[in-house]
Amino acid sequence: MIENDGEVHYTNTRWRKPVVAIIDEGTRSGMEILANALKLNGIPLVGAKTAGAVVAGRGFLLPDDSLLVLAVADVLVDGGRLEANPVEPDIAVPFDFRYADGADPQLDAALGEMAKRLSEG
């Protein structure tokens, strides 16, 4: 970190507490890259597989002021593609909000996994 006066401080901002992440088909793009990194580092993923939608996009403003977003570049993560290769959860919990009636089974499962991890530590 560089302060306003130019003084440099080195910090270690590594998170050292338990983490559980919730993913689903709405997890896409940069968040899908994050989900993949969490999984590779042993963080449990709860929910449903991600969208498998990870390419670089670029927006083009059209004459009618609408926006057209096109894929312009492929994205490789650790040498592999996440595009069309969704990240799978460690704890699969399907969730259809149309029938949820206010319940959130993915959140409940994630809280249960976190409680388990906290009791182990």
Domain CATH code at residue 61: 3.90.226.10
Q: pLDDT tens digits, residue range 7-63?
A: 998 888 888 899 999 999 999 999 999 999 999 999 999 999 999 999 999 999 999
Q: pLDDT tens digits, residue range 34-43?
A: 999 999 999 9
Q: Quick one: pLDDT at residue 14?
A: 82
**Total domain count for the chain?**
1
Q: What is the distance between the alpha carbons of residues 77 and 113, in angstroms, rounded to a whole number?
A: 27
Q: What is the distance between the alpha carbons of residues 44 and 103, in angstroms, rounded to a whole number?
A: 21
Q: What is the distance between the alpha carbons of residues 56 and 71, in angstroms, rounded to a whole number?
A: 6
Residue 107 lies inside a defined structural domain of this protein:
no
